[in-house]
Amino acid sequence: MSAMKTILLLLLAASSGWAAPVAYEIRPDERAFLELTVEKTGLLTGKKHLFTFSRYQGTLLFDRDAPERSTITLMIVADSVFCRDRWLGAKDLRKVQDYAVKDMLAADRYPRITFRSTTIDKLDGNRYEARGILTIRDVSRPATVVVALNTRSDAFPLIEGSSRVRLTDFGLKPPTAALGTIGTKNEMLFRFVLGGTPPSMGASE
């Protein structure tokens, strides 16, 4: 019954000239990045830990006629995190890398970081505010992400944006161990530029 109802709604939309929502697959791209930064305090004020993630997938379901009915989901593989600090020596860099995977994210126990939008509001132009649930280490908290969408065919990036979240809200341990008593701010900045294509285009590759 539900499948028949869906078919009838799609036929009604087509006959009425409505544009059906388009599903875009979000996937890794050599031009894309998904990173988080954590700023240092004390003697290292101005320095930042920079981490990137190489494995992730998601979906943007975009309704051009009613953007508020659009949805964004994203799943990040936690152990794909990589520390890119250029201001650390090789030994300390390895320590921070290991700490991020094993202690901060505890990737063996919590392999996924996820975001699922609940509401999307248009701001201006192609900018939107996506509110939803961010889950890290199996702790779920409300999060707000300001994004810019570019849904033209073959356009890159498909989506870009940023969000700030508090580490302690998710039980995260700042990477201080490798550098002794040097402090870290209780906030991290997520930034991303992500590519994607409609399923029909991705299937032909």
Average pLDDT over residues 43-62: 89
Two structure tokens written together for 148:
């810019």
Q: Where are the domains positioned within the chain?
A: 20-203
Alpha carbon distance 103, 126 (integer Å): 38
Q: What pLDDT, on the 0 to 100 scale, is given for residue 200?
A: 56
Q: What percent of the chain has pLDDT over 70?
A: 81
> Would you state the pLDDT for residue 80?
97
Give the separation between CA 67 and CA 122, rounded to whole angstroms: 7
CA separation, residue 128 to residues 103, 122, 155, 162, 196 (Å): 34, 4, 18, 11, 18
- The span from the CA of 191 to the CA of 162, in Å, is 4
Instruction: Compute the mean pLDDT over every residue in the chain, rounded to the nearest whole number.
Output: 83
Range 20-203 classified under CATH 3.40.120.10: no
pLDDT at 74 (0 to 100): 96
pLDDT of amino acid 119:
93
Is 60 exceeded by the pLDDT of residue 81?
yes
For the cut 50, the answer to whether the pLDDT of residue 202 exceeds it is: no
Residue 38 pLDDT grade (very low, low, confident, very high; cuts 50, 70, 90): confident
Provide the H-helix boundaries in 17-122: 90-99
pLDDT score, position 11: 54
Question: Taking the model in full, what pTM does it have?
Answer: 0.81
